[in-house]
Chains A and B, each alone.
Chain A
Amino acid sequence: MWIYIARRLAQSIIVILGVTVLAFLTLHLAGDPTYLYVSERASEEEITDARQRLGFDRPLGEQYLRYIGGLLQGDFGTSLRARKPAIDLVLERLPATLELTFFALILSLTLAIPIGIISAMRRGTAVDGGVMLLAMLGQSIPGFWLGLMLVLFVGLQLRFLPISGHVPFLQPLLDGDINTALTNLPQTIRHLILPGITVGVFSLSRNARLVRSSMLEVLSLDYIQTARSKGLPERAVVLRHALRNALIPIVTLVGLEFGFLLSGVVIAETIFSWPGVGRLVFNAINQRDIPLVQTAVVLFSFMFVGLNLIVDLIYAQLDPRIRLN
């Protein structure tokens, strides 16, 4: 087991390093970065001075090492537009995006599992067919279209859910202000519903189908037949014996899921004015605020790799074949 952990850890480190190389290169792919740091009316001399001061005239390898050194000391660079440490900006907005992502993830899993199970148990019936068709549909809708429809119909016509604005929950929680966090929670959830649906529908649909097919596979296995022949009621068979194994593929997906959801979040954050990291980085890319983009990318990758590492370790714990491979 330890060898496995060590190996995965080493791999993770390589991946994060690789991401930093990629993130670092983007700064230079966009052309001479000095222009981003000086005023529009800077003279040639000021530009050359700035270039020297910022170290952009040194060889790329040396610049990269300096960049990594900075990262290790916690210096992620300063945002050009906001003139503030990029890491502070990202961390400031991260809780809002995490709220959205977790909400979508929870929504997706809590609904997908019962739906998938019911569908599997009623395989071949109209319920199964109907639910699966809906799930297919859920995977076929362009996300932004769903978001706009929600704004127009639920937000405007029916008017019982808010379509913009944010009431913080995670940030006060992390600050230790439990009271505010709890008072805010109902409002936070209220504001989360529409964007959460927009982000989560795709993975909800996919997970429902996944649970169903995984369940069907497991239900066809021998040990299930044994349980049935022992006279156990179907419900017990499904919930107690089959579910655990059927959920294994979902566990693996949760890691990747996080990455997808993060991608979909940009669109939902734009439509619902959710003040999260997705919008922050999207604007940063458009405005060529390179330090901010680099920071966000490195941070996300770090979280993604970390999450996957944990998931893999859990998986390895559940299924010994993995670690022995």
Chain B
Amino acid sequence: MSTKKNGMSLRNAYLVGFLLSLLLTLCSYSLVTRHTFNNATTMALIASLAVIQLAVQLIFFLHLDREKRPHWNLLTFLLTVGVLIILVFGSLWIMSNLDYNMHPRSDTEEYIIKDEGFHKN
């Protein structure tokens, strides 16, 4: 996992990873505190910054790029990411549906009229 690749030494890799992570953290912090954009845009931006920082730390701290074939660490990581996405977004999806359908009857009727275009006779 840690054989020296031509190019950057491990010491420099840690240093670059540290500085990049610091920069990304400060970027997302100032985006939130300065309210440069509206909430939805800021959320999308800082979520992307978090994913970039994940990649930075996987490469420069955990050295996934230096792994020899057959890249078991990378493959198991990607599988885990698949599980995580299903778990998190699946939960959000199911629970928002439940929330929608489990409201008191009068609320549900209002929603149906509003969202689905059905009308009471």
Do A and B bind? no
